Amino acid sequence: MDDRSWMHVDRRSLAYELGVASFLKFAIENGKDCNNIPCPCCKCWNMDDFPISAIKTQIYYNGVDESYKIWKWHGEKVDTTLSSSEDVDSCSIESDSVDGNVGADYTVEMDRSDDDDEFSSECNEFKEFVEDANKPLYPSCTRFTKLGVLVKFYNLKAKHGMSNAAYSDWLIAFGEHLPEGNEIPTSIYEAKKTLGALGMDYRKMHACPNDCILYRKQYIDDTHCPTCEVCRWKVGKNSKAREGVSSKVLWYFPPIPRFQRMFQSTKTASSLTWHSTDRPKDGLLRHPADALTWKSVDEKWPDFGSEARNLRLALSSDGFNPHSSLNSKYSCWPVILVNYNLPRLCMKRKYMMLTLLISGPKQPGNDIDVYLEPLIDDLKVLWEGVQ
C-alpha cells in the first residue's frame, strides 16, 4: 500500500501535491471508468462522480477525506486477511442500490428458533453486518440500536438539508454526550459505509436540462447537448458555466443488488416462488399470476416461465410536489418497480422499489425514455441471467 500520510498534511505543501498526483494516477489506472470517478473530497465523500480534472480541483479546494484509508471506491482491493475488528472499521459490503423504506425502528431478528427471516449460508458477510449494526447504541442500552439511530439521523439530515460537514460535526458532538464505547460513527463517511452496506447507495447521472440525453456512454465527456446544444453545466449569476456542477441530475438506484438481497433471505426467497408453489389454481382471478398476460408470457418464452425464481416486474411513474406548495414550480418524478412474484406482499411499501428519481421543474413526458436507459440496461442484464 502506498504511503497515505500526505492526506494529513497542509494542502499547500509539496507532499500534498505529490500525494494528490499519486492518487489521481491510481484512480485512472484502477477505476472502473476513468472519466467518471468518485470524488473523495470532504464535500463529496465518494458519493458524487466527476471527471478527473474536476476531482483534482475539488481535492485542493475542499480537502481530502482523511478517513478514506483504503481506496476501494477507486479500485483498491480490500485485504480479506484483516482481523475482524479491522474489517468492521475499514470494510463494508459494496452495493449499488437504495432501499428508501428503512425505518428508524427497524430491527432484524437473527434468532433461528423463531419464524423470522433467516439468511442463506452464502451471505455470511451481510449477516455479520446486520448483527453489528443492531448492536446497542452504547453498553447497557436497551432502547436504541446503532442502525436505528443512524437511519433516523440520516433522515433528519435529508429533511433539513444539512451539509455533510455539519452532519459530521453533529455526529461527533452527539457521541461526546454518550457513554464510552458508544457506536456512533465519527464522520459522514463512516455513516455512509454503514448505510451503503444496507443497499442505500445510488448513482447520479448528469442530464440535459431539456431531457434530450443522459451524459453517459458516448456522451460522458460532452459539455454541450448534441441535440439542443445547451450547456451541460449550471450557469452562475456571472453567466459563467460552473464546471462539474450539472444543470440537471438523475438519481438512479440499481435494482439488481436489491433483488439479490431479497433472495438472501430464506423467507423472502420462498415468497418469491409463491406464485408457482403455493398459489391457489382454481381459475379465479386473485393475483396477476392468474391473468392472461402472465400466461401469455409463459407461452411466448417457455424457458423463462419454467423457472419460478424469474421475476415479473411492473413499472409505475407519477409526479409529486416535494415541497407541498401549490404555487411551487418544482416537481419530482419517481419510477418504481413492483415485484409481482410476491403474494399480497407485492403491494407492501417495503417491496416497492424506487429505481429512478427525475427532478423537475417540468415533467419528462414522452422524454421519460431517456431517463429509463440505465434501468433498461439492467433489465437486459437480468434477462440474460444473474446469479
pTM here is: 0.58
Assess if residue 12 is contained within a domain: yes
Per-residue model confidence (pLDDT) at position 373: 93
Per-residue model confidence (pLDDT) at position 66: 76
Please indicate, yes or no, whether residues 46 and 128 belong to a single structural domain of this protein: no
Mean pLDDT of the chain: 77
Look-up: residue for cell 401469455? 296
Nearest residue to 198 via CA among 77, 86, 102, 268: 102
Euclidean distance between CA atoms 118 and 130, whole angstroms: 12
Identify the residue with better confidence: 198 or 7: 7
Please indicate, yes or no, whether residues 107 and 159 belong to a single structural domain of this protein: yes
Assess if residue 236 is contained within a domain: yes
Give the confidence band of 302 by pLDDT, cuts at 50, 70, 90.
Answer: very high
Please indicate, yes or no, whether residues 233 and 276 belong to a single structural domain of this protein: no
pLDDT at 95 over 50: no
Tell how far CA 333 is from the center of its chain: 18
Assess if residue 269 is contained within a domain: yes
Lowest mean pLDDT: which of 50-54, 82-86, 127-131, 353-357? 82-86
Nearest residue to 90 via CA among 19, 187, 181: 187
Give the confidence band of 91 by pLDDT, cuts at 50, 70, 90.
Answer: very low
What is the domain extent for residue 336? 251-384
* Domain termination residue (choose one: 44, 74, 104): 74
Please indicate, yes or no, whether residues 243 and 285 belong to a single structural domain of this protein: no
Please indicate, yes or no, whether residues 260 and 337 belong to a single structural domain of this protein: yes
Report the number of distinct structural domains present in the chain: 4
pLDDT tens, 311-357? 999 998 876 655 555 555 667 888 999 999 988 878 888 788 889 98
Those residues whose C-beta lies under 8 Å from the C-beta of residue 204, and which sit 6 or more positions away, are 47, 48, 49, 249, 250, 251, 252
pLDDT tens, 234-266? 887 777 777 778 888 899 999 988 888 888 888
Assess if residue 203 is contained within a domain: no
Please indicate, yes or no, whether residues 215 and 101 belong to a single structural domain of this protein: no
Assess if residue 81 is contained within a domain: no
Look-up: residue for cell 436507459? 373
Per-residue model confidence (pLDDT) at position 181: 84
Assess if residue 83 is contained within a domain: no
Please indicate, yes or no, whether residues 309 and 332 belong to a single structural domain of this protein: yes
Q: State the CB neighbour count (10 A cutoff) for residue 27.
A: 21
Give the confidence band of 101 by pLDDT, cuts at 50, 70, 90.
Answer: very low
Per-residue model confidence (pLDDT) at position 127: 64
Residue by residue, DSSP assigns 18-64 as HHHHHHHHHHHHHSS-TTSEE--BTTTTT-SEE-HHHHHHHHHHH-B
Please indicate, yes or no, whether residues 182 and 226 belong to a single structural domain of this protein: no
Please indicate, yes or no, whether residues 340 and 287 belong to a single structural domain of this protein: yes
Assess if residue 85 is contained within a domain: no
Please indicate, yes or no, whether residues 279 and 235 belong to a single structural domain of this protein: no
Beta bridge partners of 145: 136
Those residues whose C-beta lies under 8 Å from the C-beta of residue 202, and which sit 6 or more positions away, are 96, 97, 98, 251, 252, 253
Please indicate, yes or no, whether residues 278 and 313 belong to a single structural domain of this protein: yes
Assess if residue 84 is contained within a domain: no
Please indicate, yes or no, whether residues 181 and 238 belong to a single structural domain of this protein: no
